[in-house]
Amino acid sequence: MGSLLPENERTRHRRLRAQGSRERGDLDAILAAGFVCHVGVVVDGTPLVVPTVYGCDAGTLYFHGSVASRSLVAGATDEICVTVTHVDGLVLARSLFEHGVNYRSAMIFGVPRAVTDPEEKIEGLRILTEHSSPGQWDYARRPNKKELAATTLLALSLDEASVKIRVGPPDDSDSPDAELGLWAGVLPLESRWGALVADPALPAGIEPPEHLVRLSDTEAG
């Protein structure tokens, strides 16, 4: 068994406990499978939920935006909640009440810190870039001083997190509704990259790099 996530009042599973997981490996897998998170923060008394790109290493989640972003400025000093969710399918039961979703989700709590150390900021942006498109950091032009100054990078520890996962068929196979003669099961949902689409302004003869070809469906097509 792998390491367990710490449990406290915010991370304890109260509802649907069977879907809860304290395995750190499950948290890591959920974060590795995506690159868009939603940051929940209160700004001037108003709750905001902001989608943004993230990247993570063994113990830290990095996310960034413009220095003018009110949500990032507030998030650098206040408690926030970051969520990542993957939908794996619709659970179609015999009754509408029992319908559901197969999913994987993580909620991460804490007070993020603004990354100001130049070396960590570059490394955090590298982690963020490589998380979504491995190989792109070494291919494209890296941020210059002006661009770095215009970018806020926040770091959030992964020490306080809550994970839930739902898999499998509907739960009503042993209920009276099983006698209705209705179809029940799961409609899976899969996401994948499509074929690369070149910038119309790209000069002839410039081919995509191998790391992007591998990510896309170009080879399969």
What is the model's pLDDT at position 74? Answer: 57
Residues 73 and 154: their CA atoms lie apart, in Å, by: 10
Same domain assignment for residues 96 and 148: yes
What is the model's pLDDT at position 66? Answer: 55
Same domain assignment for residues 215 and 182: no
Same domain assignment for residues 104 and 176: yes
- 49 or 137: which leads in pLDDT: 137
- 214 or 73: which leads in pLDDT: 214
Averaged confidence pLDDT in the chain: 89
Of the listed ranges 16-20, 41-45, 188-192, the least confidently predicted one is 16-20
Domain CATH for 76: 2.30.110.10
Same domain assignment for residues 183 and 202: no
Same domain assignment for residues 118 and 32: yes
Tell me if 68 is assigned to some domain. Answer: yes
User: Which residues, other chains included, contact 217 with Cβ-Cβ below 8 Å and sequence gap of 6+?
Assistant: 192, 193, 194, 195
Q: What are the backbone angles phi and psi of residue 22, rounded to the nearest 5°? A: -110, 10
End-to-end CA distance of the chain: 40
- pLDDT of 32 higher than 80: yes
Q: How many domains does the chain have?
A: 2
Same domain assignment for residues 115 and 208: no
Tell me if 1 is assigned to some domain. Answer: no
Residues 65 and 193: their CA atoms lie apart, in Å, by: 24
Same domain assignment for residues 146 and 197: no
Same domain assignment for residues 49 and 102: yes
Same domain assignment for residues 70 and 156: yes
Residue 125, classified by CB atoms within 10 Å of its CB into exposed (0-12), middle (13-18) or buried (19+), is buried
Structural domain boundaries, residue 98:
17-189
Same domain assignment for residues 62 and 107: yes
24: nearest Cα among 41, 54, 2: 2
User: Which residues, other chains included, contact 193 with Cβ-Cβ below 8 Å and sequence gap of 6+?
Assistant: 215, 216, 217
In this prediction, residue 220 has a pLDDT band, given cuts at 50, 70 and 90, of: very low
Tell me if 4 is assigned to some domain. Answer: no
Mean pLDDT of 73-86: 81
No. of H helices and E strands in the chain? 6, 10
Same domain assignment for residues 206 and 119: no
Same domain assignment for residues 110 and 207: no
Mean pLDDT of 142-156: 93
Residues 159 and 13: their CA atoms lie apart, in Å, by: 16
Mean pLDDT of 98-110: 96
Q: Over pLDDT 90: what percentage of the chain?
A: 72
Condensed to tens digits (0 to 9), the pLDDT of residues 41-72 reads 888 888 889 999 999 998 999 998 654 466 66
What is the model's pLDDT at position 195? Answer: 94
What is the model's pLDDT at position 221? Answer: 44
Tell me if 135 is assigned to some domain. Answer: yes
- pLDDT of 21 higher than 90: no
